[in-house]
Amino acid sequence: MPSLLQSIGLLRFRHRFIPALHRRYGDVFSIRVMPEGRRLVVFNRPEHVKEIFAGDPEIFHAGKGNAILGPVMGEHSLLLVDSTQHKRARKLLMPAFNGHALRGYEAMVTRLTEAEVGRWPEHEPFASLDRMNALTLEVILQVVFGVTDEERLTELRPLVNRTVNIPPLVFLGWGLPGLQRYGPWRRTVENQVELDRVIFAEIADRRRASDLVDRSDVLSRLLQVRDESDNRLGDEELRDQLVTLLLAGHETTATALSWALHELGKDPAQEAKARGAAVAGDTDHLEAVLKESMRLHPVIPMVVRHLMAPATIGGIDLPRGANVAASIILAHDSETSHPDPTRFRPERFSEGEVAANTWIPFGGGVRRCIGAGFSLMEGVAVLREVLAAYDVAVPAGTREVPKVRNITSVPRHGARIVVTRRRRTSATSPWSHPPAP
């Protein structure tokens, strides 16, 4: 097939194209991708995935594959840098995502969720993806950026929304300075300049804040970290990391949650079980629900590494310059790794059936998603609030399929659900939640 067609198959029709190649060519195959027709070698077996994730970070670079995000995320972005620069940035960002920090974010996530779900219409189908997008955006603004001033939030919301919704064509042409004078490219650049102005103003205000040490949001934590030479993160670097967290953490989590609500809505027995867990405070089961939704509906289709030197994977010698991928779609759909793979069965996770390197929605190795714990914490808090407040069902005749949206895959029809408010029970209040700080 010409590389143009292969690239279109990969970018637009990945959910049919990749499994079709797997059926035809077996566990390892390559795709020629535009513009240079360079080979992307696709793996999915757990032992191959392990080799990719454990590969020497000096040889297995991840930043290069994400270069297209450069104009938006900036040169310091954790997603774009490799080698020593990546190691340094990762070390500085990590404490804001460890278990202790995550516990500090949970009450705020719960409060924002409560406000969001309180506005949902009863008995009227709506796209859960839209509501989850609105909610996870609010979480990024208030819990990650730490903005609580209503005036600044009002200023930020439309700017951030336009950044998140940059159309693919605008993305592709962005690298060409000539285009930046015209129509959608000019508007995108103007939006970015304005967004940066507000972010820099927020950083400046926060640096001056007298209560910085008491604040628990991600930005406030990042303002206090120092590297080995005792240097703090500079304004430009902070800006790049904040925009990265926004773009990497907002729609991904919203998509995973909307699929989870859709799956629960389709399956009354699983919905009742998840509610029981929500009311009893059984976090493990709610986490299993999220994990199983992410297995069945991977938000990101694959992770890619660019080889800076020859390497061998699965006994196959690959040259310097090759790109290798761990296919999340294929790894999650494997009958061997996940018996009855098309069935939604969260119990696989609680019953310890899921082996290492077979469930990889967050990638792996030194580049594993830094927000994995954050998104699971957020997801559990959201499911708990939704299920405590409502019965969730899908409208009759609903059939949901994935649709490619830039890098992520989202439910084509927005994962529509119908909710009915639950009556308060005497034993445990279904609206019970951890106290607000």
Where does this chain bind ligand HEM (CB under 6 A)? 62, 78-79, 90, 144, 244-245, 248-249, 252-253, 256, 299-300, 303, 361-364, 367-371, 374-375
Which residue is associated with the tokens 């303002």? 223
Which among 111, 146, 164 is positioned nearest to 378, based on CA atoms? 111
Q: Token match 């990638």: residue?
A: 363
Closer residue to ligand HEM in complex, CB, 250/338? 250
Name the β-bridge partners of 419: 392
CB of 386 to ligand HEM, least distance (A): 16
Closest distance of CB 127 from ligand HEM, Å? 18
Q: Give 9 or 373: the residue with its C-beta nearer to ligand HEM.
A: 373
Closer residue to ligand HEM (CB): 62 or 147: 62
Q: Of 114, 111, 174, 39, whose CA–CA distance to 386 is shortest?
A: 114
Which residues in 320-339 are b (16+ Cβ under 10 Å) and which e? eebbbbbbbbbbbbbeebbe
Judged by beta carbon, residue 367 or residue 433, the one nearer ligand HEM is 367
Comparing CB distances to ligand HEM, the nearer of 144 and 418 is 144
**Quick one: how far is CA 296 from the chain centroid?**
15
Extract the tokens encoding 198. 């507000």
Q: Token pair of 30, please?
A: 């390559």
**Is 255 or 430 the residue whose CB approaches ligand HEM more closely?**
255
State both tokens at 230. 């005792």
CB of 90 to ligand HEM, least distance (A): 5
Task: Output DSSP code: residue 225.
Answer: -
By beta-carbon proximity to ligand HEM, the closer residue of 290 and 418 is 290
- Distances in Å between the Cα of 341 and the Cα atoms of 34, 348, 435 are 32, 11, 39
What's the closest the beta carbon of residue 256 comes to ligand HEM, in angstroms?
4
| Nearest-approach distance from CB 261 to ligand HEM, in angstroms | 14
Kindly write down the DSSP assignment for every residue of 390-427, as one continuous string. Answer: EEEEPPTT----EEEETTEEEETT--EEEEEEPPPPSS
* End-to-end CA gap in the chain: 58
CB of 260 to ligand HEM, least distance (A): 10
Q: How far is the CB of 87 from ligand HEM (least distance, A)?
A: 10
